[in-house]
Amino acid sequence: RLAKDAGMKYLVITSKHHDGFCLFDTQATDYDVVDATPHRHDLLKPLAAECRKQGIRFCVYYSIMDWYHPAQYRASPEHYNPTKIHAERKAEYLAFMRQQLKELLASCDPDVLWFDGEWPDWYTADDGLEIYAYLRQLKPQIIINNRVGSGREGMEGLDRGDRQYAGDFGTPEQQIPATGRAGIDWESCMTMNDTWGYRQDDQRWKSAATLIRNVVDIASKGGNYLLNVGPTAAGEIPAASVERLREIGHWMQTNGTAIYGTQASPLGALPWGRCTQRQDDGGTTLYLHVFDWPPDGRLALPPISGTITHAYLLADRDHTPLKTDATDRGIVIQVPPTAPDPICSVVVLKK
């Protein structure tokens, strides 16, 4: 419910992290929540059912690196990460992976498989292509991130161009690309503070304003925002996360139209904010996301092709027209002296 109220359209939950412990019932190992804990229940199946009840797409994270499986071993006495593999047992581990992935598809039918832990040198691009083809055979419509392959360019998250790699979208981590890239789907995965899991001593929370502007910045470049929440050992969402998610949801209730289903900005860099667009049979709609409201009431735009037919504030239910003037440098929109929203106000331009 919290995710839905925050405006999220899909949820990614960890099925198996690098430590190898599984939150689902798997026949491939007893190292799972059903066989190795007093809980003795699959955690993913009921969550998948509730997500679908709430209209949220259910997706799962799965780590390729596995510190528990005997085919892999630590790289040094000090570190597990990245693992090495006993060469004679690699085929066994890949078969283990295929079994678990098939179980996940059968038990909770995720819409996205979000891989990670692909960086050990024993896992190859060809391994990724094989796993990708296997999953496509099981569920042709599934979406798979590019970490199923081994072509990711570090934390920038997009594939190198030296050969074919598996995956449907790029995964920048803890960063937002400076610009979008035409024809490439991507999703920035980022934390609310500095850590992915729960840490009581990590109180470096990003503000709600930063998170909302991240949503806008990413959408303006044609990407998705995967925002992490690290629950406590008791399974509770930290209060600071709840507070920020509610603030995001409040902003999305008014401005979600300018985010959902939009495309990257057709304009260059804008000194006052960002732009998203929507194209349909009725023409083109530009959504101007204003971070820095003009104190003189004049919002300046570069030249725009086509004729502007309507301009108004998205927060204004009456769609009261705003005056627009053509200048030698582009377009000027006359806006009220006070911003409707101190974090990000949206001006709608129809043409």
Position 160 scores a pLDDT of 94
Percentage above 70 pLDDT, the chain: 100
Residues 304-327: tens digit of each pLDDT: 988 999 999 999 999 999 999 999
Q: Residue 266: is the preceding peptide bond cis (ω within 30°)? A: no
pLDDT (average), residues 173-190: 95
Q: In the predicted model, is pLDDT for residue 65 greater than 90? A: yes
Which residue would you say has higher pLDDT here, 305 or 143? 143
**pTM for the whole structure:** 0.96
Query: Going from the N-terminus, what domains does the chain have, and what CATH number goes with each?
Result: 2-258 (3.20.20.80), 273-350 (2.60.40.1180)
Burial class (CB in 10 A: 0-12, 13-18, 19+), 113: buried
Question: What token pair was written down for 14?
Answer: 């960890």
Q: In the predicted model, is pLDDT for residue 282 greater than 90? A: no
Position 212 scores a pLDDT of 98
